Amino acid sequence: MIVQNQLALVKRELWEHRAIYLTPLSIAAVMILAALTGQVSLSAFGSAVEIAMMGAHELDVDPEAHRALLTGAVSGLGGVFLVAMWILTIFYCLDALYAERKDKSILFWRSLPVTDAETVISKLVVAVAVIPLVTFLVIALTQLVTLILTSIWLSFVGGNASLLIWQALDLVDIWGGTLILVFAIPLWLSPFIGWYLLVSAWTRRAPLAVAFLPIFILPMIEKIILDTTLFANLFFERTFAIIELIEVFGDGIEDFVESDIAVDPSSISLVGAIDLGGFVLNPHLWGGIIVCALFIGAAIWVRRYRAEA
Amino acid sequence: MTSLVTARNVSKHFGATRAVDNVSFDIEQGKILGLIGPNGAGKTTLLKALLGLTDCDGELSVLGLDPFRQRRELMQNICFIADVAVLPRWIRVSQLLDFVESVHPNFDRKRAEELLNDTKIKRNSKVRELSKGMVTQLHLSIIAAIDARLLVLDEPTLGLDIIFRKEFYSNLLSDYFDENRTILVTTHQVEEIENILTDVMFIVDGKILLDSPMETIAEQYVELLAAGDNADKARNYKPIHERDVFGKKVMLFEGTDRSMLSPLGELHTPSIADLFVAKVKGAVA
């Protein structure tokens, strides 16, 4: 019954917030279109240029460097999606418990045998699991379609797609790494997700302003009064740490491309470039999850106890 | 008779204001109870307490459950329509049916579909595309397909035109009501529902001013239309309220023998609205 309710509630979120899949799909459409346009434009030049642009003239390019570059390029396609995913998550959370109060549909939802805890948790599930999963599926789809288009184009201009793309690339590794990243980002930023959901449940107006003002004002006040930077560190370092997390694998790829040392081809791996163990064992991750849980508890309390229309 | 709702000394404060002030009452199965009161009288607060939407002091039991603490179990056997605008505007009719079907164990989808087939509501329409009247029809079709023991209606026909309002109450009786079900309804348009009520309760300033079956009202209260001397004589029987109509006096009596009043003019059973005004003014005076 609890599982059935969760499934129904999550499905309802997807009906209401179509941006969850429309946003990544729009980005995918733009990217695929850009890939097509790029290939057609390149075809205006000679085929030598075309194949060189693939970073891999069969004759004289180091296969490991080619492999690393290709892995970096294909993984990098996901970058825009990850940034968009986080922005989408912020807007989703701020709307999730606010819109139902604004249009008073909360009275209808609460007339059904579903508890407040179940409802709030379904919104959390969407933020930390459904949005990432949808984002991952669209990233994988975009990578696949782009690669297929590139293969077709390569065959037209006389390149060997099988050799240049499909044998050089480990898609399972890229997808594995991407999957880790899409779930790691919301987990790492979960205290923000909890905070946004609480603001959404509690504020009477302007959830965006109410959510962001303290994030900027608290560090300022702290700096002026105490001349310390505890809040600034808490808010901004945590946010930027996620960029470092992504950079870790970015650097790894760069190493493969730039280093003159011979690299073992099997070590060119997106999964291998992510320090999953370090991430899971990081006490800051768990501290953040606890803060998120406290905010979620507060959001449930507010939805349940506030006596308002 | 089984008591569906039992309230003993129920109060709800908002700061210094007592929205519901120490009320006690019972609602029995199979009744249609009208809860009548001016704006801000505490009607909505009382309904919210019954529905477990707000905490309250005192003893309150609905279907044998503590409404605030056992809200999920309660909502399997209670339905409510808060007012016409509460269905989410973005949802499609078919999605709404899917959702209620998956979370409500007592929802009969087939029955809801049958009821909707009698309306012009299309399954793929969004709620925002429907007129106010259609939204209410949709809501009632869903509610009527839920096998619930208690239905709570808070101003269900607010903002609807007269045709939809009439239709709403006749559908309510034909599609929903039977002896196993109980309805609690609040509205400002008392005259439209007084002929379907079995019981009536007046609430003013958080207190219950009257709690009575409709039959008792006809026995207990009488309205006299009198003029001149007769009006003066009638005043000796201490009417609880008096008003002017076309130069004649309309006086409302409580517990006064009809045979004493009948020589003085025309007698009627007062309408709920007139009785309410008399009771409220009497309480204030």
Q: B198-222: buried (b, 16+ CB within 10 Å) or exposed (e) per residue?
A: ebbbbbbbbbbbbbebbeebeebbb
Cα separations in angstroms, B160 against A124, B34, B157, B197: 38, 19, 6, 20
Per-residue confidence in pLDDT tens, chain A, 309 aa: 788 899 999 999 999 999 999 999 999 999 999 888 877 776 666 555 555 555 444 445 667 777 777 887 888 888 889 999 999 999 999 999 999 999 889 989 988 889 999 999 999 999 999 999 999 999 999 999 999 988 888 787 777 778 778 887 888 989 998 999 899 889 989 999 999 999 999 998 899 999 888 888 888 888 888 887 777 777 777 776 666 665 554 555 555 555 554 555 556 777 777 777 777 888 888 988 999 999 999 999 999 887 554
Residue pair A211/A94 in contact (Cβ under 8 Å)? The answer is: yes
CB–CB contacts below 8 A, A to B: 77
Residue B67 CB burial class (10 angstroms; 0-12, 13-18, ≥19): buried
State the nearest Cα–Cα gap between B27 and chain A, in angstroms: 20
A257 vs B236: which has the higher pLDDT: B236
A12 touches chain B (CB under 8 A): yes
Residue pair A136/A128 in contact (Cβ under 8 Å)? The answer is: no
- A112: closest chain B residue by CA: B75
In percent, the amount of chain B with pLDDT more than 70 equals 98
ipTM (interface predicted TM): 0.83
- Candidates A10, A95, A112: best to mutate against B (most CBs of B within 10 A) is A112
Whether B87 and A305 lie within 8 Å, measured CB to CB: no
The partner residue sitting opposite A113, judged by closest CB among B75, B86, B92, is B75
- Candidates B70, B103, B128, B146: best to mutate against A (most CBs of A within 10 A) is B103
Q: Beta-strand (E) ranges in chain B?
A: 3-14, 17-28, 32-36, 57-62, 78-81, 150-154, 182-186, 199-204, 207-213, 221-226, 241-245, 248-254, 266-268
Residue pair B171/B144 in contact (Cβ under 8 Å)? The answer is: yes
Mean pLDDT, all residues of chain B: 87
A305 touches chain B (CB under 8 A): yes
pLDDT of residue A241: 67
Cα separations in angstroms, A236 against A79, A127, A228, A231, B151: 20, 20, 14, 8, 51
Q: How far apart are CA B215 and CA B219, in angstroms?
A: 7
Whether A15 and B89 lie within 8 Å, measured CB to CB: no
Whether B87 and A105 lie within 8 Å, measured CB to CB: yes
Report DSSP state, residue A57. Answer: -
- A2: closest chain B residue by CA: B103
Confidence at B137, pLDDT banded by 50, 70, 90: confident
Cα separations in angstroms, A179 against A105, A142, A247: 35, 14, 16
The alpha carbon of residue B255 and the mean position of all alpha carbons in its chain are separated, in whole angstroms, by 25
pLDDT of residue B283: 63
Over residues B11-47, the pLDDT tens digits come to 988 888 888 889 999 999 989 999 998 887 888 889 8
Over residues B144-162, the pLDDT tens digits come to 889 888 999 888 887 778 8
The partner residue sitting opposite A103, judged by closest CB among B88, B98, B100, is B88
Q: Report which of B216, B284, B283 is spatially closest to residue B255, judged by C-alpha positions.
A: B216
pLDDT of residue A225: 85
The partner residue sitting opposite B75, judged by closest CB among A100, A106, A112, is A112
Residue pair B50/B62 in contact (Cβ under 8 Å)? The answer is: yes
A3 touches chain B (CB under 8 A): no
Cα separations in angstroms, B258 against A285, B226, B243: 81, 14, 19
pLDDT of residue A158: 73
Whether B88 and A115 lie within 8 Å, measured CB to CB: no
- Spell out which residues of chain A touch residue B145, defining contact as CB-CB under 8 Å: none
Q: What is the mean pLDDT of the segment spanning B54-75?
A: 89
pLDDT of residue B91: 95
A301 touches chain B (CB under 8 A): no
